[in-house]
Structures are given as C-alpha cells and as structure tokens.
Amino acid sequence: MKPKQGTTTSSVSSPCICLLGFKGAGKTTVGMALAELLGWSFVDADARICDLHAQVFDEPGCRGSHSARSIHATHGARYFRSLEREALGSVVADISGKTAVLSLGGGALLQQRNRALLRREQKAGRMVLVHIRCAKQEAYRRIMRQGIPAMLDARKPRQSFVALWHERMPAYERLADVTVWNRSTARRCALRLRRDLDAKGITLLMEGSKRGV
C-alpha cells in the first residue's frame, strides 16, 4: 500500500481515527465496531451537530425527533453547514491525538475550512483519515430507506444522488490515508481496517495502554 505523500506512516503511536465517506457507507456502524474492538471512545459528528442545534434553540436535546437529517431539511443547508463546521472544530479539539474514533458526515468535506483542519491534524500525525466505501447502489438503497433527504432533488433523486456521488468521491480519496470497502459486517470491516493500518506502520493502542477522551 503506497503511503500518502506528506503524512506520517511509520511508527505513529495511536493517532485518532476519522472515518470519511458518502452517506450510507456505514461510517457510524464501522466506527462503533472499531471503537469496541480497540476499547476506544466513539464520537459521532452528527450527534455533536444535534447538541449544538439544541443549544441554539434552547432545547434539552435533539436526537430522535431532531436528527441531523431533519435539521438539514428544516433549517436549510447553510445553517446545517455552519453547525457542522463548528461541531467538527469542537470534536477535533476534544480528540486530537487521543484514542478515539470519529465518524464524519458525508458532506463535511464540502467546506474548505473542514478539509484544511483535517489535513492539518493528518500531517501532524495526530489523526488518520479513513475512507469507508460501499457500492454505489447499496449507499442509495440505505439512504432512501428513510425517504428522500434534503441533499437530493426530490424530483429526480436517483440522478442527483449519482451527481453527488461523483462530485464527492474524489475528495474522500484525496484526503484518505486508507480506503476500506464495507462489503459485509461492520466488525469485519473494522478488522480489515486495523490490518491495513498495521501494514502502514500505524500502531493502534488498545484500551489500558493510553487513555482516550
């Protein structure tokens, strides 16, 4: 596996892991499986967005009836992206260089500031960026199970999905240190990811070796 230029890939001691990828790729389930495997903390960026939204509207919480998906649909992309930017900055400050797995929203890389933040952490050796990828049709099927999301054109969801897929995929690949296909169970994907990181000389400490967040 060829090392990414400009990143540290030998004897890195437990950087945090950030999972990138299209909506529906399985970042959350794989992230939870990886965190459980390693005994690390798991952080969902969408959950932090919900927490920030709850603070803005003085609500006790927004999970459940107010998911990240519903916030985007109700309040629009501009508001959602501003929360996403703030949430990412907050999460990265919390987990940088610690034993934690972060699942990032599929559209977070649309913002240059977010890409710059992740690249800075990556180059400093504090974060490894992993692209979780699944088949295009499988991602579409998972996304549509809950209806048409705001990111797609309701009049032609399939066409707009394909356009977004081809627009975003290069960004994931450019940033990622490793790409792992999610073709079976989340645990198998997590095990494959750990093997791939080991092959790059990136050491992931188990729980008890180093404290996380």
**Tens-digit pLDDT profile for residues 35-69:** 999 999 999 999 999 988 888 776 554 444 578 88
**Tens-digit pLDDT profile for residues 163-197:** 999 999 999 999 999 999 999 999 999 999 999 99
**Domain positions in the chain:** 12-188
How far apart CA 96 and CA 69 sit, in angstroms, is 26
**Tens-digit pLDDT profile for residues 82-121:** 999 999 999 999 998 788 999 999 999 989 999 999 999 9
Which overall architecture, per CATH, does domain 12-188 show? 3-Layer(aba) Sandwich (3.40)
Tell me the pTM: 0.84
Sheet-wide strand order for 16-20: 41-44, 100-103, 16-20, 127-133, 178-181
**How far, in whole angstroms, is CA 121 from its chain's centroid?**
14
The runs of H, that is alpha helices, within the chain are: 27-38, 45-56, 68-75, 77-95, 112-123, 136-144, 157-175, 186-199
